[in-house]
Amino acid sequence: MEDNMNTASKAMELLGLGPLQMSLKLAIELKLFEIINSSSGPHQSYLSASQIASHLPTSNTSTTSTSLDRILSLLASHSILTTTTDEKGERFYGLTPISTHFVPDQYGASLGPLFMFFHDKVLMESWSYLKDRVLEGSVPFNMAHGMEIVDYMASDERFRRVFNEGLSITQCVKHVPGDMFKGVPNGDIMFMKAQSKGANMEVTNFELGAISGDVTEKGMEDLEKNDDVTVAELEVAEDSKKLLQFCCSPVLTIPYQNLLDLLSWVFILHGFDDEHCVAILKNCWNALPRHGKVLIAEYVLPSTNVSEFPDACRLAFTLDAMMLVYRAGGKERTLVEYEELGKRAGFHGMKAFPCSLGIVAIELQKESS
């Protein structure tokens, strides 16, 4: 009887996932976690709803604080916030280890912008067509908006900005141990990621632990004199030939050295089917010297029973479902699948390293070490 009540309670919680997500979205939009994080009142790092409301752009703080208290209570019930009360029974809210991940860290990165992208109205509308994907093979995003996501990004500046800001999570990939790249001469790595001006190509020297230059700002002839290429053209371009020319040929003319020893792709390959991924990796293979390597940063699906690793794999499966809705060929992959892609492209070795936030760095070696 008790087990049945517990499972029923868990099932009931699923009914409230939507309101919880929208309440968290509100907290991120209004920077509520940042307001609490910067507090230094009599209750230390705790603030009441009325105190938080005083930091918001509203003249009706009384009504705002009442609504906030109800929203913050919901978040606290899911351990996103913690609470304490004073002698009058007024609630005060503080951060928990969960909510701190939505406050920018020392590098300016947090999960907040990525959450806002995941729950943007443009993407949320696509989920109404998930059944069509399963039964008919149609792409839900295309059905919701009448065009592919790459074309929509090009036409909607606001949505493109939300996408760009969401990729601030890539900051955590750059801050990995330097010995991860042992054997790479000079420790010079090119990180290719999508940002506000398309391909933001940075050279990171891990021995110095600092960014040593921005390739885009220094100029590249292979960018066809266009330094304002959109993210859509970089990451989800319909014309794969154009994407390959854009992403891969510039490595031959980077002003720092003739060839970089390691190319890095952050959240790129999961947007393409296997054939496109192999084509991209082959271009990388051709551009690299004999000792060269490619670093792929992605979320990875487990190869074993899903129920054995519920926490570790839940986000990866969530992202895989999102790719099912937004991209015709996009998908998350297992380590075995990434190794197979590398072999098909000519790479002879693979290593995997866990990074922060569940991201896995996969190193493909041009020659076996």
d(CA 285, CA 125): 39
Encode 295-333: b = buried (16+ Cβ within 10 Å), e = exposed.
Answer: bbbbbbbeeeeeeeeeeebeebeebbebbbbbbbebbbb
- The helix/strand/coil state of 278 is helix
d(CA 278, CA 130): 28
The predicted-structure confidence for 268-296, as pLDDT tens digits, reads as follows: 788 888 998 888 788 778 767 787 777 78
Q: Which entry of 55, 101, 145, 270 is annotated as an active-site residue?
A: 270
Token pair belonging to 248: 């891969």
pLDDT-wise least confident of 114-118, 215-219, 283-287, 360-364: 215-219
Residue identified by tokens 């490595």 is 251
- Distances in Å between the alpha carbon of 148 and those of 137, 164, 204, 206, 278? 14, 17, 34, 38, 22
The answer to whether 180 and 116 have CB atoms below 8 angstroms apart is no
Compute how many other C-beta atoms are within 10 angstroms of the C-beta atom of residue 54: 14
- Quote the DSSP letter at residue 306: G
| Annotation marks residue 270 as catalytic | yes
Selection from 174, 186, 206 nearest residue 256 by Cα: 186
Sign of CA dihedral 323, 329, 335, 338: negative
Q: For the chain, give every residue range classified as CATH 1.10.10.10.
A: 2-101
Q: For the chain, give every residue range classified as CATH 3.40.50.
A: 167-365
The predicted-structure confidence for 195-248, as pLDDT tens digits, reads as follows: 323 333 333 323 222 222 233 333 333 333 333 333 223 333 333 333 333 333
- Distances in Å between the alpha carbon of 199 and those of 137, 194, 368? 31, 5, 30
d(CA 287, CA 289): 7
Q: Does domain 2-101 have CATH number 2.130.10.10?
A: no
The pLDDT of residue 173: 52
Q: Does residue 35 register a pLDDT over 90?
A: yes
Q: Does residue 90 register a pLDDT over 70?
A: yes
Please give the angle made by the CA atoms of 77, 78 and 82, to the nearest 5 degrees: 65
User: What type of residue is 312?
Assistant: A
The predicted-structure confidence for 161-183, as pLDDT tens digits, reads as follows: 898 888 766 655 554 444 444 44
CATH of the domain spanning 167-365: 3.40.50
- Distances in Å between the alpha carbon of 200 and those of 149, 264, 281, 296, 327? 20, 12, 19, 16, 23
